[in-house]
């Protein structure tokens, strides 16, 4: 039976931590990530990767980029 909740449970972002600290980057704060420092792939590819991860987990975040920087922030 469906259950109404007041808050979302702590949903793991990934099955394994991998090389990126997703639990930090997707915590609802505003983050600036820099290519070459925080990630190595092309900026456009990383933006798409993050956006797909946000969609899969149902988080209310947005991703934008400017040059070699990516910004993750709350939507709205």
The 10s digit of each residue's pLDDT in 22-64 is: 989 999 999 999 999 999 999 999 999 999 999 999 999 999 9
Q: Is residue 8 part of a domain?
A: no
Confidence of residue 15 (pLDDT cuts 50, 70, 90): low
> Quick check: is 50 in a domain?
yes
Is 16 domain-assigned?
no
DSSP 3-state percent helix, strand, coil across the chain (nearest 5): 25, 25, 50
Q: How far apart are CA 68 and CA 16, in angstroms?
A: 27
Query: What are 34's two structure tokens?
Result: 């820099």
In a domain, 61, yes or no: yes
What is the pTM for the complete model shown? 0.75
- Domain holding 42, by residue range, is 23-74
Structural domains of the chain, count: 1
């Amino acid at each position: 039976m469906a259950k109404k909740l007041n808050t979302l449970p702590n949903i793991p972002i990934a099955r394994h931590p991998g090389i990126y600290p997703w639990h930090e980057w997707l915590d609802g704060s505003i983050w600036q990530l820099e290519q070459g420092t925080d990630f190595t792939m092309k900026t456009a590819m990383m933006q798409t990767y993050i956006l797909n991860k946000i969609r899969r987990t149902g988080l209310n975040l947005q991703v934008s980029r400017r040059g070699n920087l990516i910004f993750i922030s709350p939507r709205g």
